[in-house]
Amino acid sequence: MKKQTGHIVKEVIPESIAQELDIQPGDRLLSINENPVEDIFDYQFLVQDEYLEILIEKQDGEQWVLEVDKDEDEDLGIVFENGLMDDYRSCHNKCIFCFIDQMPKGMRETLYFKDDDSRLSFLQGNYVTLTNMSEHDVDRIIRYHLSPINISIQTMNPQLRCKMLNNRFAGDSLKIMDRLFEAGITMNGQIVLCKGINDGEELKFSIREMMKYLPYLESVSVVPVGLSKHREGLYPLEPFQKEDAKEVLSVIHAFQDECMETHGCHFVHASDEWYLMAGQDLPEEESYDGYLQLENGVGMLRLLLTEFEDAKKALKKKPFLKNPFKKKNGPVEISMATGKLAYPFIKQMAKKMEEMFPELTIHVYPIVNEFFGELITVSGLLTGKDIIGQLQGKALGEKLLLPVNVLRSCEDVFLDDVRVCELEKALQVKAIIVKSSGYDFVNAIVEEVNR
């Protein structure tokens, strides 16, 4: 059976060029200006022209050639059935630190998919190893000048990288960074640090080598390997301890000082876990160079605290705060649940809100990750069953506030497929999902206070 070509139209934006052309859901885009459209990158590049000849195949098989005169960069208004307009590329490495390999069996099939797609790096900020990139992929990144490209570097030692990724081509693939650098492509790097493997002198070597790619490699994050309790048959890795964390921070801070002096940026950043593990204060906001690596937990807690203080200051200027809050039906009692990593900060913020509203009580509960193991402390990997199990019988008040990252993206379901409504039924409390910012934290509490 012949494979169908083209890309299926899922939706046409009202009052768009596509609607004027009578393009319909179910139609297929075949080409633009006689150029085949491989994926979303080709599409976005080709539609920038002011004159287009679009070849569309209607659902009855009839083909239309549509001529378009438009402003440069004006969008056609088409939403495709597949947002990437191509199959997602999976990772063929067997990294010794891969978290997906540490997940228990029996979970949703999509949770086991390992992506290693440079297109997702550009579109969604995903990190790629470069081992899955062809010459064609690199050429297109350079041709379209796609930035930034986020790279899982792990080490600049080619032989060690082959070992860590379990891929004999992993060392050679680092040369792609040279091509991206020469083309002026912005990059961000990531090092997943594994104790006794790519730390110590290897870490120093890697940072020194990566500095050669400044300014196009604009930041590098160093994060501790996440170790779940499901590691049977996997490479033996040890968790970092307090003294280890202090040493890692010492190395990073020394390079930050050097980079600030020579390049005017900190360049290499430690994720928040290192500071909590070492028992050290979080750096001030200016140390994060504009929060380039939030998705890796670099500066997330500092930004949360900064936003919280800004929102609190703005709140003090509001008229209703001139008098102590009094609710018609009595005091306000709510609760919050979070991972162990953020708990001390959420607790601190909750206490400050209680001081602003004398009749407000906030119960804050740290949830131990029994599903993946106690070494996993981020809220984004908490499960519905763990939250339910550890909050049953606790004082929850009128509402339970949960951070949005405990849910699957754009869904009301936890990582273990427990739905929000099931949690509410089990705990007999209304759950409020709060976005991950200090502003939303304050606004969510104020909303409850003013009910």
Is residue 114 very low, low, confident or very high in pLDDT (cuts 50, 70, 90)? low
Last residue of some domain: 296, 318, 333?
Answer: 296
Burial 242-263, CB ≥16 within 10 A → b, else e: eebbeebbebbbebbebbeeee
Lowest mean pLDDT among 39-43, 88-92, 286-290: 88-92
Residue 22, phi-psi category: left (phi > 0), alpha (psi -120 to 50), beta (remainder): left
Shared-domain flag, residues 71 and 162: no
Asked whether the predicted pLDDT for residue 324 surpasses 60, the reply is no
Alpha carbons 7 and 21: distance in angstroms, whole number: 17
Asked whether the predicted pLDDT for residue 1 surpasses 80, the reply is no
The strand pairing partners of 337, in sequence order, are: 365
Shared-domain flag, residues 259 and 143: yes
Shared-domain flag, residues 242 and 268: yes
Q: What is the pTM of this model?
A: 0.84
Q: Domain range for residue 235?
A: 100-296
> What is the number of domains present in the chain?
3
DSSP for 7-38, please give it. Answer: EEEEEE-TTSHHHHTT--TT-EEEEETTEE--
| pLDDT, average across residues 213-235 | 95
Q: Which of 27-41, 135-149, 166-180, 311-325 has the highest mean pLDDT?
A: 166-180
pLDDT attached to residue 86: 60
For residue 175, give the CATH number of its domain: 3.80.30.10
For residue 437, give the CATH number of its domain: 3.40.50
Asked whether the predicted pLDDT for residue 336 surpasses 60, the reply is yes
Asked whether the predicted pLDDT for residue 188 surpasses 90, the reply is yes
Asked whether the predicted pLDDT for residue 113 surpasses 90, the reply is no
For residue 38, give the CATH number of its domain: 2.30.42.10
- pLDDT, one tens digit per residue, over 275-316 is 999 999 999 999 999 999 998 899 999 999 999 999 999 887
Alpha carbons 423 and 429: distance in angstroms, whole number: 8
